Amino acid sequence: MLWAALSLSLGYNATLVTLGASLLGAAAGMAGTFLYLRKNALISDAISHATLPGLGFAFLVAFGFGIDGRQLLILLSGSALSAALGLYFVNWLTRETRLTQDTAIGCVLSVFFAFGVVLLTIIQVIPAGRKAGLESFLLGSTAGMLYSDALLILILSIITALVLFVFLRPIKLVVFDQGYSETLGISVRRVDFIILMVTLAVTVLGMKIVGLILIVALLIIPAVSARFWSERTNIILVTATLFGALSGYIGSAISAVSPGLPTGPIIVLCCFGLFLFSFLFAPKRGVLAVALDHYRFQKAVHLTQGLLSMAAAQPIYEPKTQRLLRRLGYIRADGVATETGKSLAAKTLLNEKRWSYWQEILKESDQLDGQAVFNLMDIETKLTPDQIKSIDQGLALKQGERM
């Protein structure tokens, strides 16, 4: 059954839901990337919780006019207006009062969500409200999704992605260098407005599938996961988009074959699975890569110190260093240096003198800051032959002056 859902052969409606969730995840990954890099991730939580009163109010207004309030377009429109109002209050409180943004977000989030819960309680008293299924928007649900609902999500997700693509360059400039972007005539306020509007759109779209409580996870977790894999914006953006789409694709497929499981939490757990994979196995920032780099560094330190002690004819007291030198064949079991060990020790001592002399040159020319400290045995791969030749000449001259 799961393979049938993943291969889009489970049924027409399941295929629409899977494609819709994938596009929603991709759009959320794109929008969340800029929220994360802009250090504005918490605002998505306020937007998501502020959608709830709009959801209930839109249903009540439609019911009052004799219209079926369960239509997705009506519910999403009310949620968008409510979220926009909540976002306006956050910005107003931050701009016009002494409240910090996180305090303003906490106030707006709690008040709007509480008001939304009250409206949902009132709706449950109405006979039509009991069958509306509005509570499914809290945690997400694809049950009963119509073709028009899925098509609406597909279209709006594509439009959201296109907006981000069109304004990609100014958004990237503002995210990483706000001052420089202003000198180019780019309005930082307008760019922030675009990012927040895209976030609002993704939040409103995601209520049907992921739910308004968990949509913030779909916005932020793919971007955080992508950050482990690269430091370049374009790669982070593409990776976050891929992670978001993959989470929506796999999560909706699992939900399709397990009707008792809510869709939103499953998609978020898929996001967490990708985050955990990135956290552990990313090539540079992952836990295993960091642990491996630390092991290599410790090994290089022990090896260098042991070889320098051998070159100076000093005893080696550190057991780890002794074991390493024996394993590499630089000393025998009785602690006596081998010919290979003596040769490498002499070369390591020479490289230490070279490195010390090179540091003195850099210090005199005020170029020492930012220079990497590398393994003494790798100095010949870090410096050019001309630089090493110049260092050796300087060392010979220095030795002649001492004599």
Task: Let me know whether 245 and 374 are in one domain.
Answer: no
Task: Let me know whether 307 and 215 are in one domain.
Answer: no
Give the 3-state DSSP-derived string for the chain, with helices as H, strands as E and coil as C: CHHHHHCCCCCHHHHHHHHHHHHHHHHHHHHHHHHHHCCCCHHHHHHHHHHHHHHHHHHHHHHHCCCCCCCHHHHHHHHHHHHHHHHHHHHHHHHHCCCCHHHHHHHHHHHHHHHHHHHHHHHHHCHHHHCCCCCHHHHCCCCCCCHHHHHHHHHHHHHHHHHHHHCHHHHHHHHHCHHHHHHCCCCHHHHHHHHHHHHHHHHHHHCCCCCCCCHHHHHHHHHHHHHCCCCCHHHHHHHHHHHHHHHHHHHHHHHHHCCCCCHHHHHHHHHHHHHHHHHHHCCCCCHHHHHHHHHHHHHHHHHHHHHHHHHCCCCCCCHHHHHHHHHCCCECCCCCECHHHHHHHHHHHHHHHHHHHHHHHHHHCCCCCCCCCCCHHHHHHHCCHHHHHHHHHHHHHHHHHHC
pLDDT of residue 132: 57
Task: Let me know whether 36 and 147 are in one domain.
Answer: yes
Task: Let me know whether 79 and 201 are in one domain.
Answer: yes
pLDDT less than 70: residues of the chain: 1, 5, 69, 127-133, 141-146, 149, 365-377, 401-403
Q: Cα Rg for the chain, rounded, in angstroms?
A: 30
Task: Let me know whether 140 and 205 are in one domain.
Answer: yes
Task: Let me know whether 26 and 72 are in one domain.
Answer: yes
| CATH number of the domain that residue 8 is part of | 1.10.3470.10
Task: Let me know whether 347 and 372 are in one domain.
Answer: yes
Total domain count, the chain: 2
Task: Let me know whether 47 and 67 are in one domain.
Answer: yes
pLDDT of residue 99: 85
280, 298, 333: which is the final residue of a domain? 280
Q: Which two tokens stand for residue 49?
A: 């919780």
280, 304, 327: which is the final residue of a domain? 280
pLDDT of residue 290: 92
245, 280, 315: which is the final residue of a domain? 280
CA distances from 147 to 64, 79, 253, 297, 322 (A): 26, 21, 17, 58, 71
Domain residue limits at 198: 2-280
Task: Let me know whether 397 and 257 are in one domain.
Answer: no
Task: Let me know whether 81 and 131 are in one domain.
Answer: yes
Task: Let me know whether 242 and 353 are in one domain.
Answer: no
Task: Let me know whether 203 and 302 are in one domain.
Answer: no
Rounded CA separation 42/47 (Å): 9
pTM: 0.80
